[in-house]
């Protein structure tokens, strides 16, 4: 690959996912379906990955830093957009 945007495009013939063999929890085999254009997965596995990631984003607990930023921004809006000095940061 030459670099740039070309590295983001997948040119795979077969899906790169694995699936469990029926009746076994530890034996997995490669998927034999054709990969969708522009992705390393077939449609079924691509949907599964997307769904898992979406669920993780929707149902995860918010990160404390995000909550403090939202709180700070809400206070700033209440103050008419004026930034209040933060004593913990010192002057500057």
Measured distance between the N- and C-terminal CA atoms of the chain, rounded to whole angstroms = 46
What is d(CA 47, CA 42) in angstroms, rounded to the nearest whole number? 8
In a domain, 88, yes or no: no
Residue given tokens 């790169």 in the structure block: 16
CA 17 to chain CA mean position, Å: 18
Close Cβ partners of 51 (under 8 Å, ≥ 6 residues apart): none
In a domain, 62, yes or no: yes
pLDDT in tens, 5-52: 455 456 778 999 999 998 888 999 999 999 998 899 999 999 999 999
In a domain, 92, yes or no: no
| Residue range of the domain that includes 20 | 4-81
Tally the domains of the chain. 1
What is d(CA 34, CA 65) in angstroms, rounded to the nearest whole number? 42
Task: Say whether pTM exceeds 0.75.
Answer: no
């Amino acid at each position: 690959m030459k670099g740039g945007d070309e590295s983001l495009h997948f040119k795979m013939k077969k899906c790169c996912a694995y699936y469990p063999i029926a009746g076994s929890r530890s034996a997995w085999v490669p998927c034999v379906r054709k990969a969708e254009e522009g992705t390393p997965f077939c449609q079924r596995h691509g949907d599964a990955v997307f769904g898992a990631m979406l669920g993780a984003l929707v149902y995860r607990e918010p990160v404390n830093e995000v909550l403090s930023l939202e709180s700070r921004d809400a206070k700033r809006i209440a103050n008419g957009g004026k930034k209040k000095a933060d004593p913990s940061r010192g002057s500057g």
